[in-house]
Structure 1
């Protein structure tokens, strides 16, 4: 099984570090095992395969993956493309309701900070929350990044 895009799709240009899925501790271990069995070993390969609705459907069918778990993992990987967002911060952003880089780009730090505080109280992901300045930097960088995850007409969110 290849991790490349299908023949009629152009590969997505991803920047940032390539990280083995096994090293991303914020991802569900059972999900990672199923993805590795398909030959999807790193964050870039998963973003490539799961970028489109069709790709996600195929992954779920091929590996018996729960759609919500796959989408959650993709949200975390997408958010971690932003400079300064580590895996735990990406998971915290997702828990606070931020799903994708374009979603982050439309947020305001004033509204997002209390949501991050609330999510961190529930999940205890970060020992120290990011400052307003850091969150502002994340948002500004998110505005410069291309959209990677695309969605079908059925509002494929949870």
Structure 2
């Protein structure tokens, strides 16, 4: 089980609020955050915004893919690639260009994956089940 603090943007304060609501791991966040009802309940119990819970859930979803860590997951979400199914339908070359431009502005990751690495991630995404329901 991976600590909830591995999600970019979840520090000790948010982790404590989420823990009070019963969510201590990324796996638990994925499970609870998979449905709108679960996210609404978690937001209420943790005293956090539903949109914030959704963003963290998206990052937790993307982290299932080998090679995607907390910072890169955040960059993907900000690039509009918020879920594994969305990644599955992207073109690696186009995604690389989008991420390069966005990261130049936001400076979220020190090193972007290569086009070949993105192709591997996209291939993995095509094999994983959809978890997040909106």
> Which shows bigger deviation, 24-33 or 39-48?
24-33
Aligned to 1:15: none
Of the three residues 22, 46, 58, the one matched with 1:63 is 46
Which residue in 2 is equivalent to 1:20? 3
Q: Which residue in the other structure is 1:72 paired with?
A: 55
Q: Which runs of 5+ in 1 are unaligned?
A: 1-17, 152-158
Q: Higher Cα Rg: structure 1 or 2?
A: 1
Can you list the C-alpha shifts for 1:109-152, whole angstroms capped at 9, x where unaligned?
1211111112211221221211000000000000000011111x
Work out which of the residue numbers 104, 109, 123 in structure 1 matches 2:106.
123
Instruction: Find 2:127's aligned residue among 144, 148, 154.
Output: 144
Partner residue of 2:87 out of 90, 93, 104: 104
Which stretches of structure 1, 4 residues or longer, exceed 2 Å deviation after superposition? 27-33
Q: Distance in 2 between matches of 1:26 and 1:60?
A: 17
Partner SS state of residue 131, structure 2: coil
Residue ranges of structure 2 left out of the alignment (5+ in a row): none
Matches of 2:32 and 2:112 in 1, distance apart? 32
For 1:98 and 1:127, the matched residues in 2 are separated by 19
Q: CA deviation at 1:46?
A: 0.8
**C-alpha offsets along residues 36-82 of structure 1, whole Å, 9 cap, x if unaligned?**
12121100011111111111111112222101111110111101101
Are 1:50 and 2:33 matched, yes or no? yes
When the two structures are aligned, how many residues end up with a matched partner? 133
Taking structure 1 as the reference length, the TM-score comes to 0.79
